[in-house]
Amino acid sequence: MLAVHFGAGNIGRGFIGALLYQANYHTTFVDVNEGIINEINEKQQYNVVLAAEESETLTVKNVSGINSITDPDKVIEAIGKADLITTAVGPNILAIIAKLIAEGLQKRIKTNNKALNIIACENMVGGSSLLKEHIYKQVTADEQQQFDEVFGFPNAAVDRIVPNQVNEDPLLVSVEPYFEWVVEKPAFKGEVPVIDGVTYVEDLTPYIERKLFTVNTGHVVPAYIGRSLEYATINEAMHDEKVQEIIKGALNESGEALIQTYHFDRTEHQNYIDTIIGRFMNPYISDEVTRVGRGPIRKLGPRDRIIRPASLYMDVTGNVPTYLVQVIVAALQYKNAQDEEAVKLQQMIAEQGYEKTLQTISELDANHPLIAAVMKEV
């Protein structure tokens, strides 16, 4: 069984690659990072280490790599033979990899009618659907009809904290023990793959929103508030009383929105929140606030982890959230000269002011009460 996985980064190697290996796949990683691809081809294996008191190491074998910049034809050939395609490249890169995937699928469908599923493992609602849209823009209407018959794009939610790696061994990945990979079953074409650790569900929406609006909504608190307090890591920030107050408040607000929307059990949801706060305090992980805060424009987007739970909270309670508003303010004020989006955000604020910038990025109506609440705080 062959899996072609786009993005040999933290989650690609540390989570998707590990589970695919355990499910007996050979994984061909596709990446633009020449060093990582060369290393994968040279070593043909890498270690995944659990960041916990009782650490365990999994050696992931049956791997190879293709540099999509220098060897696009090899990627097209691999897509022709693949039993599964997965991605973990970041939401903004989906449009870029779509071109090569489209070429691979166009070529494959001429000689091979076997069903193939493409699962985007990105932190967003509807990642695989978005990838499909980008791919379909590259092909003719006739090809789209043919693709509809055999290519599935099941959406997914993936959860495992994998920080940036600073190991001597460039392939080694240190990961937290916790993981969750939930995939929507009805969207599959052909057989549903047997992968230990994957949960198949009929409707992904409650799962992806619960994950994104709890794990990722929580995560931006130590990232953005932590950065404003000059902490470098999530763990350090999580020990600050102000961060603790805001994370609890923000997760109560997003929790209220989720519980009322999806009828989650209140006690179970509180346990889920407590587990996540515990994960952020894992002393065996050093996760930079700049990794978790990366891409503040994406994170302030209308369907992402800050704006969507805040507006959902208003819809279900009729009140403006207190803590999520503080998170929006901290996100707007996030500065990092190494982060292209953070730089662009500050430029937008300098040129247009907070109000116009927030409206543009969040796509909220100009008279939405959330905008007024944020303006009161900044």
Ligand X SMILES: NC(=O)c1ccc[n+]([C@@H]2O[C@H](COP(=O)([O-])OP(=O)(O)OC[C@H]3O[C@@H](n4cnc5c(N)ncnc54)[C@H](O)[C@@H]3O)[C@@H](O)[C@H]2O)c1
Ligand Y SMILES: O=P(O)(O)OC[C@@H](O)[C@@H](O)[C@H](O)[C@H](O)CO
Residue 96 interacts with, from ligand Y, ligand X, none (CB under 5-8 Å by kind): ligand X
Is 90 in contact with 121 (CB distance < 8 Å)?
no
Range in contact with ligand X (rule: CB under 6 A) among 1-9, 199-207, 304-312, 348-356: 1-9
Residue 32 contacts ligand X per CB under 6 A = yes
Cα–Cα distance for residue pair 284/137, rounded to 1 Å: 44
Query: Please, what is the minimum distance in Å from the beta carbon of residue 174 to ligand Y?
Result: 13
Is 212 in contact with 258 (CB distance < 8 Å)?
no
SS3 content of the chain, % helix, strand, coil (to 5): 55, 15, 35
Q: Which is nearer to ligand Y, 137 or 303 (CB)?
A: 303
Residue 158 contacts ligand X per CB under 6 A = yes
Other Cβ atoms within 10 Å of 106 Cβ, number: 18
Residue 294 interacts with, from ligand Y, ligand X, none (CB under 5-8 Å by kind): ligand Y
Tokens (6 digits) for 39: 């290393």
Cα–Cα distance for residue pair 222/240, rounded to 1 Å: 9
> Would you give the binding string for ligand Y spanning residues 149-178, x where CB under 6 A is met?
----------xxx-----------------
For 175, phi then psi, to 5°, come to -130, 155
> Would you give the binding string for ligand Y spanning residues 311-350, x where CB under 6 A is met?
----------------------------------------
Contacts of 319 (CB under 8 A, 6+ apart): 313
Residue 184 contacts ligand Y per CB under 6 A = no
Q: Which is nearer to ligand X, 89 or 370 (CB)?
A: 89
Residue 6 contacts ligand X per CB under 6 A = yes
Stretch 205-224 residues interacting with ligand Y (CB under 6 A): 215-216, 219
Residue list for the binding site for NAD(+): 3-14
Cα–Cα distance for residue pair 291/164, rounded to 1 Å: 7
Closest listed residue to residue 134, CA positions, set 6, 16, 267: 6
Residue 216 interacts with, from ligand X, ligand Y, none (CB under 5-8 Å by kind): ligand Y
Give 213-253 as a DSSP string. Answer: IIIIHHHHIIIIIHHHTT--BHHHHHTSHHHHHHHHHHHHH
Interface with ligand X (CB under 6 A): 6-12, 30-33, 68, 88-91, 93, 96-97, 121-123, 158, 160-162
**Residues at the interface with ligand Y (CB under 6 A):** 123, 159-161, 215-216, 219, 292, 294-295
